[in-house]
Structure 1
Amino acid sequence: MEYTPRFVQPFSLAEAINLDVTVITEEIARLQNSLMHLKETQRILQADLGESEEVDPEVVKAFEENKLVIDSQEERISILNMALIEKGIVFSSHYEITPQSLRSAGSSLNRPFTGPETREMTSSEETEENGVYL
């Protein structure tokens, strides 16, 4: 399988194929997380550009640079997915990490553990819990 990337990448498709599956999937997850943050930053920068009467050249520059980084990272994910396919592993969209799944996982992971809930059992619950006494 031959692939010519549009952007300079830290590895070729042939090199990616030689990587362990775990390394490939972990790198895909890392890149997807990075993309989620970059795209959120883009929304903020775009809102700033739309609201400002004077355009800040630094904001424009950051926005343009982020677009290139996003495109490059998306291409890198494509290369890694091609490497997985070449190894005979086909992932469906069911396994893809989305910003929504990261947010929902993050909200439950970032909550402090308060311990198990406890409450008094009523006599009928005790009977159900412990069985019938004969």
Structure 2
Amino acid sequence: MEHRNRYVQPFTLAEAVLLDVSTISEEITRLQYSIKRLRETQDILQETIQEAESPEVADQDILQAFKENQEVMYVSVFFGCSQEERILILKLALTHKGVTVVDHYDVDPTIKPSSNHNGSIEEDDSGGLHL
């Protein structure tokens, strides 16, 4: 079981394989939902800013939220918090457990994940897994 992470992750593939299938699936759903919501929010904020008469007229709170989202997205992609890579690790863990990863595990990110996790894990402040 060899997988090299491109980014620093809160867990390894070996640790993910120890989780039960439902926990892995729930975390995939949570991560996909998080990515989807961040992108949707950014699109809405950008549209709102563009509809303003000028950047100076745009609501400062909206401009600040847009800037903060950009920073979160940049950090997520370039500085070690890549959620897409976490999803890949979790899908690899499912494969190692003998689960065929098909569309069933590409869970609809419009469904908000539940917070019920069973197993020897804890949720961190972002709702993520802490092994």
TM exceeds 0.5?
yes
Q: Which residue of 2 aligns with 1:3?
A: 3
Structure 2 residues not aligned, in runs of 5+: 113-131
Structure 1 residues not aligned, in runs of 5+: 104-134
Would the aligned equivalents of 2:25 and 2:105 in 1 still touch at CA under 8 Å? no
AA aligned to 2:37 is H
Q: CA deviation at 1:61?
A: 3.9
AA aligned to 1:69 is S
Q: Which residue of 2 aligns with 1:46?
A: 46
How large is the Cα RMSD of the aligned pairs?
Answer: 2.8
For residues 38 and 69 of structure 2, the distance between their equivalents in structure 1, rounded to whole angstroms, comes to 11
Q: Which residue of 2 aligns with 1:16?
A: 16
Higher helix share: 1
For residues 9 and 99 of structure 1, the distance between their equivalents in structure 2, rounded to whole angstroms, comes to 21
Runs of 4+ with deviation above 6 angstroms: none
Q: Which residue of 2 aligns with 1:86?
A: 96
Q: CA deviation at 1:45?
A: 3.0
Output one character per residue of 1:31-69: Cα deviation in whole Å (capped at 9) or x when no partner.
122222112112123324544533877333422313443
Would the aligned equivalents of 2:16 and 2:93 in 1 still touch at CA under 8 Å? yes
Identity %, equivalent residues: 45
Change (3 A) 1:13 1:94: closer
Output one character per residue of 1:85-107: Cα deviation in whole Å (capped at 9) or x when no partner.
1111112124522346x39xxxx
Change (3 A) 1:40 1:17: same
- Structure with higher Rg: it is 1
For residues 89 and 2 of structure 1, the distance between their equivalents in structure 2, rounded to whole angstroms, comes to 18
Select the structure with the greater relative contact order (CA < 8 A; seq sep ≥ 6): 2
Change (3 A) 1:67 1:44: farther
**Secondary structure class of the residue paired with 1:91:** coil
Would the aligned equivalents of 1:13 and 1:82 in 2 still touch at CA under 8 Å? yes
Superposed, 1:50-129 pairs within 5 Å as: 50-51=50-51, 53-54=54-55, 58=64, 59-69=66-76, 72-99=82-109, 102=111
Structure 2 length as normaliser, TM-score? 0.61
